[in-house]
Amino acid sequence: MTARKLGVGLLGAFRWAEKAHLPGYAASDRVDLVAICDVEIDRARAMAERFGARRVYADHRELLADPEVQMVDVCTPTHTHLPLSTAAIAARKHVLCEKPLATDAASAFTASEAADRQGVRTKLGFTFRYSPAIRQIKAWIDDGTLGEIFHIHGFEQNSQFLDPDLPLRQVPQDAPRDRLIPSSIIGYGSHLVDLMRWLGGEFASVASTMRNFVPERVVRGMGEARQRIQVEDGTVAIVEYASGAHGLLQSSFIAVGNYPGVELRVYGSRGAAVARLIEEFGVAETLTFARADAVEFKKVELPASHYAPGTTVNTPWAPLYYRNLVRHFVDEILDDRPQECTFFDGAKSQEIVDAIILAHRERRWVDVARNSGAAR
């Protein structure tokens, strides 16, 4: 481990940066928060004051030209993720980008290849990979504790948009009104697919069904009245893994329950583990474990070393997971550790979400073809 600090520049100083990203940098003694940039310069100024950044910019090109910035954090609206990340890669900066990186898998693969060519590291904001409970399950899979993996069940569901009068933001302004608009499978499903692929390996084939359950909603940017709009607010998919394991996946905006509402169950020949990432009564997540010879699930308490400094199982989920994510990316870069949760993984997740949507539209099994087996 070196005593060196990583120079960080953040693009997009709004709600999510304030809640999740900036507390991670402020808490790390290995980060020098060099600059914050927002097209609304007052937002950049306010965050710089609060989290101790040394410079502010209103134009991303100025931040990218700052020689002290080594890593760029893209925390801006979705449609800007790809152009800003691509510009940061071209400027030879390491990049952390919020998900999704792009709206199609091909451009996400292109950005991943550009980063490899430039010799910079990437990380996609797949928040739940940095849950201590999920990381423990990954360790139990890798060290053989769970044995051969048979079944993986993944859910991301909560009641965020159960109320039709709460403006839905995940709808592109030009979305067609006469067909189903994929939404929960993109917003929630992209995380879930990434988790299930990280734990179980490459997906071979998927089948799915998607539905619009709440037919009329208020949509952000489309007035205050409810619209007849076919937003997909629930998807179920079944998965055949390349390993032969079976997967089951559900994303839902309308399932009663608290945030973030992720549940992962892994069943193997020697044991099984269930992680519930659902904030309830001041506890962010729970982990239970059973063995083939002791089948009653027992609660597992994880040691303090599983948590980023300053966090515990009682920390709200956003800072709990994001501090861990930031800590991992900074350590990866400064200590030259193996990469994980990269733009390549983002592209793979996007490719699988596309396959799930196609399977529903054509009511058939769809093979997940490109780059299968090329996990890294």
Ligand X SMILES: NC(=O)c1ccc[n+]([C@@H]2O[C@H](COP(=O)([O-])OP(=O)(O)OC[C@H]3O[C@@H](n4cnc5c(N)ncnc54)[C@H](O)[C@@H]3O)[C@@H](O)[C@H]2O)c1
Encoded tokens for 117: 């060519």
User: Which CB, 108 or 359, lies closer to ligand X?
Assistant: 108
How many chain residues interact with ligand X (CB under 6 A)?
22
Q: How far is the CB of 292 from ligand X (least distance, A)?
A: 35
Pinpoint the alpha helices (H) of 300-373: 317-334, 343-362
Candidate residues 8, 10, 13, 356; the one interacting with ligand X per rule CB under 6 A:
13
Nearest to 169 by CA among 259, 63, 254, 77: 77
User: Which CB, 289 or 322, lies closer to ligand X?
Assistant: 322
Binding flag, residue 12, ligand X (CB under 6 A): yes
356-to-129, 165, 364, 365 alpha-carbon distances in Å = 21, 28, 10, 9
Binding flag, residue 99, ligand X (CB under 6 A): yes
Candidate residues 6, 8, 10, 11; the one interacting with ligand X per rule CB under 6 A:
11
Binding flag, residue 94, ligand X (CB under 6 A): no
Binding flag, residue 46, ligand X (CB under 6 A): no
What does DSSP say about strands 122-124 and 294-299: parallel, antiparallel, or unpaired? unpaired
CA–CA dist 98, 15 (Å, integer): 13
Binding flag, residue 60, ligand X (CB under 6 A): yes
Binding flag, residue 14, ligand X (CB under 6 A): yes
Window contacting ligand X (CB under 6 A); options: 26-34, 36-44, 282-290, 366-374: 36-44
User: Which CB, 98 or 233, lies closer to ligand X?
Assistant: 98
Binding flag, residue 75, ligand X (CB under 6 A): yes
Q: How far is the CB of 169 from ligand X (least distance, A)?
A: 8
Rounded (5°) CA angle 137-142-143: 100
Candidate residues 76, 250, 311, 349; the one interacting with ligand X per rule CB under 6 A:
76
33-to-10, 49, 136, 288 alpha-carbon distances in Å = 8, 11, 30, 38
Q: How far is the CB of 42 from ligand X (least distance, A)?
A: 10
Which residues 123-162 are close enough to bind ligand X by CB under 6 A? 125, 127
The 8-class DSSP code of residue 311 comes to -
Binding site for ligand X (CB under 6 A): 11-17, 37-40, 43, 60, 75-78, 80, 98-99, 125, 127
